[in-house]
Amino acid sequence: MPIRPILQFPDARLSMPAAPVERFDAELAALAGDLLDTMRAAPGIGITAPHIGILQRLTVIELDPASAPKTYVNPTIIWSSEDTISHVEGSVSMPGITDDVIRPKRVRIRYQTLTGEITEEEADGLLSVCLQHEIDQLNGLFWLQRLSRLKRERAIKRFSKHGKG
């Protein structure tokens, strides 16, 4: 599967909501494969179709190379816990820049598989953080928007200094 170019912050497409996937076919499966290879090459642990300029609700997550990657089509958060977790986050679209983001500790999501089957999953810890991060991206919310204005401005300045912004 080809490694696709990743959009770099501040590309406007990173702030656009993705459209629901309606066709569950070989093309969708191939796109998921491309996302996986692109994410591994970045490197990263999660990526969405919008990261490569395709505004569809598709994300691939691989927290541990020893475990099978997971593909989520049209994911939505249907429940989140009141207790929170702070975790260092970043983006394949803003390499080298990270900061602490506070999110609900646990979530339950509803999504579809590559064949269109509707399913639900509950997650905590790193998987919960990653799912929330990628679903935010699918909703057009780049991870920086979860930071205070001061932290966001500092992150953008650091990214610009790296010659990537």
What residues are annotated to the active site?
A: 134
| Owner of token pair 């770099």 | 8
Cα dihedral 105, 140, 134, 47, rounded to 10, equals -160
What is the three-class DSSP state of 101? strand
Specify whether the CB–CB gap between 87 and 65 falls below 8 A.
Answer: no
Measured CA to CA in angstroms, residue 44 lies from 34, 63, 89 at distances of 14, 9, 11
DSSP letter for each residue of 38-86: HHHHTT-SEEEGGGGT--BSEEEE-S-TTS--EEEEEEEEEEE-SSEEE
CA 52 centroid distance within chain: 11
